[in-house]
Structure 1
Amino acid sequence: MSPCRVEGADLRVMQGNAGLGSTTILNGFGISLGDGIIGLQALFAARSLGAIEGRVVLGRKEPPAKPLVPQIYRFAADFAEVVPLPEAPLSGRVIDIRDFAFDPFFRQVAMIDFFLTRLGLQPSSVPASLKRMTWLAPRMAPLPPLPMAPGYVLVCPNASIPLRDMPDAVHEALVAQLLARGWGPVVTQGAAPAGASTMPHCATIAELCAFVAGARAVVSTDTAMVHLADAFSVPCLAFMTTHRPAMRVRDYPLCRAVHLPVAGLPDNTEFVRSEADIAAAQSAWFPEGEDFAWLDYALDQFASATLRGR
């Protein structure tokens, strides 16, 4: 037995054919779309700065219920190779980030900083440009054509877990206020209120990216869509309940975030513990009862900060 260099776990493995010039990342990078987009950016930065060289294998078990997740990794094939677990080679350098959502460090720092650290970089030494989602857009070109004219506002009221979903009443008020401002047609991923249209189902990640890239602005509670907005330099208004904005959108100059802290819920909660958690998170969207003046103010600030001149 020969010990490999392992980050984040005490693991001893047999030397195999991959060689010491290879790096295997176990569970690189999670099972959600947003985690994958950010993790691949961290890996892109690590390779760009020379912290990781040679062959890179991402040992993954793809979630069957999330067909877009494995697709995002195919666009990173020039700097990372996906090998299904447990076939991933355990030779050379092994970085074990399995179950990272349970890691206390993960809940204390920005996600991009967590992945950069696990890949062997000091986040403070990484240029700001490499903490944005710069790896994706060039590899997506050309995007598929849109079934509608660009210039709409894209609303994303549903998140990857119900804990972060936008309540129907807020969604309806948001769409009404967007339409009243005349920023353009409103397209939503949810059930469309009067005056808006529903975004067609996207069978591929390229189609989803095309809808983001064609938007004048994105308004979202789903962080994956926020990361895509940054990738295509689209202004974004992000509503965040369970996480402080600095944990997910700190490095996005075109993103304005609104934090709606959840009473009684631990900071940076990653999982639903009970129905009471969902009820608490939903209540956070109503800081002033049914008065949505706060939402009106958030849209005004967003327009002033990011939409002026567009």
Structure 2
Amino acid sequence: MTAPLIDVDTLHSPARRVAILNGFGRTLGDGIIGLQALHLAMRLGIVPSRPTLFRLAGFGPMVEAVHAAADIAEIRILPPAHARPQTRFDAANEFDQVIDVREFAFAADFQRTSMIDFFLRRLGVDPQLLPSAFKRNTWLAPRVTPQPAARARGHVQGYVLVCPRASMRIRDMPDEIHDAILRQLAGRCAVVTQGHVPDGLADEVAHAPECKALAELCALVRGARWVISTDTAMVHLADAFGVPCLAFFPTHRPEWRVRDYPRCVAVPLRSALPPGLEFARGVGDLALARRAWFPNGADLDWLKRVIDRCRAWHEPRSLPSEMVT
């Protein structure tokens, strides 16, 4: 939908009424990053204070909670009938400008670019003018009430948190990879996983039950020494709370997701899938995504080397960003 023309004299007026449609997305990760873009656009005066975010409902408690934490905007529900950009937004006349990001996940410039840059451009900000540090997820932590540190096998903090599941099945970590990570770490450090604990590891690996509240999930991340995760929202939460992260990318180039995260070590997995594929088109895509985790078949020495390298960090919270290939 084309935004209405704006009088240049009112462009930076705090009284300017701005609506953002589908702000921001259907997943926790999209919400964290999109709201950081909005936070920056408001600080720069490109978007006035308290814009109205119209978002679709029904995408789970964490997505609801991250938008509820965004006190920088008024949140309203976008009617399902208005979910597609081909549909005229009936309330457009109530606003001086409508920024339409409906169905952005299907846009080619979203699938193959940095997420934060995509959202900044949609909000009218040239991302090239901003330093990388501005693009980190700084908006969230001050708005989450601190919770008691999560415990892992009696350790108040300092555990390794393993996160094998993504919002999209195509990015899930295979069970064999998850099990290999847990077995390599077990007995060497406190380990917590959001996935299933394999047989024989119940005394050495703790299972993190599903978090019921955003503050609880953030406490789980905040209490970790480092996070090992597939490409999912936990990677963005790790950045938000300054926790080092080892992240695997089966479908996207890492610079499209974690380019601005100085404490993230990114592992791109080579696959035959089209780069930036957001949704599996069928079981064949799921098979190709799975195959990317096994470049040498059942031989997982590559994974062992990556884990050993990360375990060798002496001061993991001060490592520079790097790419593991």
TM-score for both structures, normalised by structure 1: 0.89
Residue number in structure 2 paired with 1:5:
none
Task: Tell me by how many angstroms 1:48 deviates.
Answer: 1.2
Q: Report the more deviating stretch, 147-156 or 281-290.
A: 147-156
Task: Tell me by how many angstroms 1:202 deviates.
Answer: 0.6
**1:72-91 → structure 2 map (5 Å cutoff):** 72-77=66-71, 79-86=72-79, 89-90=91-92, 91=95
Is 1:250 paired with 2:259? yes
Residue number in structure 2 paired with 1:220:
229
Which of 290, 310, 314 is the equivalent residue of 1:302? 310
Q: Report the more deviating stretch, 191-200 or 223-232.
A: 191-200
Unpaired segments ≥5 residues, structure 1: 1-8, 14-18
1:49 aligned partner, one-letter code = L
**Counterpart contact for 1:59–1:84, Cα < 8 Å:** yes
**Counterpart contact for 2:15–2:48, Cα < 8 Å:** no
The CA distance in 1 between the partners of 2:257 and 2:167, in whole Å, is 14
**Counterpart contact for 2:164–2:230, Cα < 8 Å:** yes
Is 1:179 paired with 2:183? no
**Counterpart contact for 2:160–2:225, Cα < 8 Å:** yes
Which of 240, 246, 257 is the equivalent residue of 2:249? 240
Q: Give secondary structure in 1 for the equivalent of 2:296.
A: strand
Residue number in structure 1 paired with 2:171:
164
The CA distance in 2 between the partners of 1:290 and 1:222, in whole Å, is 22
Q: Deviations over 1:27-85 (max 9, x none)?
A: 00110000000000000111111111133011011224x211010111111x1111111
Which of 177, 186, 208 is the equivalent residue of 1:199? 208
Q: Give secondary structure in 2 for the equivalent of 1:191.
A: coil
The alpha-carbon distance between structure 1 residues 254 and 11, as it changes in their structure 2 partners (threshold 3 A), is closer
Which of 190, 193, 214 is the equivalent residue of 1:188? 193
**Counterpart contact for 1:152–1:217, Cα < 8 Å:** yes
Unpaired segments ≥5 residues, structure 2: 6-13, 80-88, 319-325
Which of 7, 10, 17 is the equivalent residue of 2:2? 10
Task: Tell me by how many angstroms 1:145 deviates.
Answer: 4.6
Q: Report the more deviating stretch, 52-61 or 152-161.
A: 52-61
Cα root mean square deviation, aligned: 2.1
The CA distance in 2 between the partners of 1:121 and 1:250, in whole Å, is 18
1:121 aligned partner, one-letter code = V
Is 1:32 paired with 2:32? no
Is 1:262 paired with 2:271? yes
The alpha-carbon distance between structure 1 residues 30 and 155, as it changes in their structure 2 partners (threshold 3 A), is same
Q: Give secondary structure in 1 for the equivalent of 2:309.
A: helix
% identical equivalent positions:
50
Q: Deviations over 1:238-273 (max 9, x none)?
A: 01100010000000000001011212x111000110
Moved over 3 A (4+): 86-89, 303-310
Residue number in structure 1 paired with 2:102:
98
**Counterpart contact for 1:21–1:53, Cα < 8 Å:** yes
Q: Deviations over 1:139-168 (max 9, x none)?
A: 113234535421110000011111011111
**Counterpart contact for 2:243–2:263, Cα < 8 Å:** yes
TM-score for both structures, normalised by structure 2: 0.85
The CA distance in 1 between the partners of 2:313 and 2:105, in whole Å, is 33
